[in-house]
Chains A and B, each alone.
Chain A
């Protein structure tokens, strides 16, 4: 019989605690879904919150409630987080990184979803049979065009050691955008007469091994394709590349801060900020009229002065030093 008491206890506690979510909502609630912990991704959330604040919605003024949840890299947890926000009927959801956006888009067709650090809907394969994106998807997204610029900048900085420029890169097979980016860069390299050596890296634990394998192939530069494994193992990659005197180029400003030479690409903070501005417009007008997923507007050209000095690289004047 004791068992029954336990079960009833657990259920009772759950009941009592779940009641608080049934409170009458007086202020709009934002459900912010993060898929994993990462220093390079974190500024997106800051940007999103700042944009809301600038538009007069802040938790200090008690006129909005931002509920933040992080799945810590676990898909079952991610699904439950999204379910929780859906059943709480939050006014809008903010999703950071691809997997959060996909999970939310598959779980609700009614609550507006403001995406950030996510690719365009087509790359996520979320288009219906009519080729249209789900009607409740908004926010700031990115396609692969910017990668062309990032990659084609490399010959401006570097001269090949011998004949052809050889560039190494690693990509994560478990991330759609990483594989798409790799294919895109491959076709670009073929056009630009660059030899590209791409190796898959599926867990940050193998970073050192895979990076060493690339460095042994006598590469002139390393292209850090910004994905989760590169973000989490960047210091390992940097250390190995520095030992072999191979400069790193990338398409994400945060990685330049951490030691890559230069990048042209989305600024993660601005990316979140842009999604936040859309969310603020929705909160003001209570309608999603005129909103749709937008391309990331702010792309920056940044360089790391210390890294540029180390490799004697002259940086074009339209690049600014990273703060």
Chain B
């Protein structure tokens, strides 16, 4: 079961990304492509700071600020220049590629002999169990923070911006500012995912973000399926399902690898499994009637 534990760890590392995508989907109802860039940015900033022997306490806020800056930039381009959010995200993501190459000066930076978040405190002797407990605490704190934020008046206004922009604007909310802040928040969370993953896998690589938005979207869509199916309205439960979605997504991949599928069909089989998970409630729905 050790292998499934590592898949669970990877899923927990991606929970920041899933929460980030959840927020941007809630605000715009479109996927935010900046994700691919801000995720790698988070990993790159982490690798640079840690290899320069900075503490992880200093690294975390810097990573979050870097991600938030990328998101805010996408928000600015989208809200102020009236450019389609998808294109705005693509532009920022593309430009970020040069940023990480300039920052790292090379394409791959291994974390050698640095103290990471996962050997900060020793809860358990087994390193994987230790990582699990630390990740769990970390993810719980982040989820509590986001859940609380979404329940405040500010969070309500943010969610309403996604549901009905015209109405919320008529109530005197500055929707442009909402979008910029929302995207900054989403990408800060994504960058935190990069922060976790780079320490988990032991290196940052410029190509690690390619297609990572798919993982986030997959997680959120798995979560949405269950949220709609169970007709959930509670934010807390929704966030919990989003985290669950991220973990399920990694489990599906782990499961596909574990049953020893021919590597040629790896991606197709993974896709079929996700399709099954997402379509099961719908199939049931009809039969229950």
Which residues of A pack against B, CB within 8 Å? 2-3, 6, 10, 13-15, 17-18, 21, 34, 67-70, 72-77, 79-81, 83-84, 86-88, 98-99, 102-103, 105-107, 124-129, 173-176, 179, 202
**Chain A residues with CB under 8 A of B112:** 125-129
Q: Is B101 an interface residue (CB 8 A)?
A: yes
Q: Report if B275 contacts A (CB, 8 A).
A: no
Complex interface bits, B268-280 against A, C-beta within 8 A gives 1, otherwise 0: 0000000001001
| Chain B residues within an 8 Å CB radius of A74 | 211
| Assembly CA distance A163 to B210 (angstroms) | 44
Pick the most buried of A87, A105, A202: most chain B CB atoms within 10 A of its CB. A87
Interface size class of B (residues with CB under 8 A): 35 or more
**What CA separation (Å) do A75 and B211 show in the bound complex?**
10
C-alpha spacing A125/B111, complex, angstroms: 9
Whether the pair B6, A77 counts as a contact (CB closer than 8 A) is no
22 contacts between A and B (CB under 8 A): A2-B284, A3-B226, A14-B4, A14-B251, A21-B258, A69-B263, A75-B208, A80-B254, A83-B3, A83-B10, A84-B258, A86-B6, A103-B202, A106-B201, A124-B110, A125-B106, A125-B108, A173-B107, A174-B107, A174-B205, A179-B106, A179-B107
A72 and B107 contact, CB distance less than 8 A: no
- Known contacts A10-B251, A18-B3, A87-B5; 20 additional CB pairs below 8 A are A3-B226, A3-B230, A13-B255, A14-B258, A17-B255, A34-B263, A68-B263, A69-B263, A70-B266, A76-B215, A79-B10, A83-B3, A84-B258, A87-B3, A102-B202, A124-B108, A126-B110, A128-B112, A129-B112, A174-B205
Is the pair A6, B2 in contact by a Cβ cutoff of 8 Å?
A: no
Q: Are A103 and B201 in contact (CB under 8 A)?
A: yes
Closest-by-CB residue of B relative to A134 is B112
Among B7, B14, B97, B110, the residue within 8 A (CB) of A125 is: B110
Q: A128-B112, A128-B113 are known contacts. Are A83 and B7 too (CB-CB below 8 A)?
A: yes
Chain A interface helix/strand/loop/mixed = helix
Would you list which residues of chain B between 1 and 42 have a CB under 8 Å from chain A?
1-7, 10, 14
Q: What residues of A have a CB within 8 angstroms of the CB of B251 in the complex?
A: 10, 14
> A-B pairs with the 3 shortest C-beta distances?
A106-B202, A87-B2, A70-B263
Contact partners of A17 in chain B: CB under 8 A: 255, 258-259
* A-contact 0/1 string along B173-206, CB 8 Å cutoff: 0000000000000000000000001001111011
Give CA–CA (A106, B114) in the complex, Å.
12
CB distance from A123 to the nearest CB of B (A): 10
Q: A107-B201, A125-B108 are in contact. Are A18 and B253 (CB under 8 A)?
A: no
CB atoms of B3 and A84 under 8 A apart: yes
CA distance in complex: A10, B226 (Å): 15
| List of B residues within 8 angstroms of A68 by Cβ | 263
Whether the pair B3, A102 counts as a contact (CB closer than 8 A) is no
Q: Residue B250 at the A interface, CB < 8 A?
A: yes
Cα of A208 to Cα of B250 in the assembled complex, Å: 36
CA distance A176 to B260 in the complex (A): 31
- Interface flag for B120 (CB, 8 Å): no
Please indicate the chain A residues that have their CB under 8 angstroms from the CB of B277 in the complex: 6, 10
Once the chains bind, are A80 and B10 in contact (CB under 8 Å)?
yes
Q: Which residues of A contact B3 (CB under 8 A)?
A: 18, 21, 83-84, 87-88
Given A79-B201, A87-B2, A176-B108, residue A72 in contact with residue B258 (CB < 8 A): no
In the complex, whether B207 has a CB less than 8 A from a CB of chain A is yes
The digit string for B211-253, where 1 denotes a CB below 8 A from any CB of A, is: 1100100000000001001100000000000000000101101
Q: How far is the CB of A89 from chain B (nearest CB, A)?
A: 9
Q: How far is the CB of B206 from chain A (nearest CB, A)?
A: 5
Interface presence of B109 (CB below 8 A)? yes
What is the bound-complex CA distance between A129 and B14, given in angstroms?
30
Does B257 sit within 8 A of A, measured CB to CB? yes
